[in-house]
Copies of this chain bind each other. A is one copy, B any other.
């Protein structure tokens, strides 16, 4: 289980992408995809061998995330990639990381599962078992 990406939540996804491209030299590597279950727009950015950045913008019905980005947004979660979501969840539960954030399991793209957990120190953790980026190449 290794870190796949970190996620930044912003009010306007195009603006967030533009900022990371302009200031940090990242490149948008996927389209902007609407995930209607997670209620976010999503895009992935990459730069050489630097950590992948995911930028999300809440859909209007995602009240908690709309509140978060209205207060400025920013760092949202760390995503770990694991071979199997259910085994990953079981392992983390056994180790004491047990607060699941609904909906569970969440759907990422093309029926792939994801899960969100709340870790100590207020850290939101996402688990994925697939290449979430590859699923968003097409975008909208």
A residues near B (Cβ < 8 Å) are 1-3, 6, 8-10, 16, 19, 22-25, 47-51, 72-75, 78, 80, 92, 95-97, 119-123
Contact = CB atoms under 8 A, between A and B. Distances in A.
Q: Interface majority SS on A: helix, strand, loop or mixed?
A: mixed
A6 B120 CA distance: 16
Contact of A22 (B22, B51, B80, B95): B95
Give how many copies assemble into the complex.
2
Contacts of A48: 2
B73 A16 contact: no
A72 to B, nearest CB: 5
Contact of A121 (B22, B50, B74, B78): B74
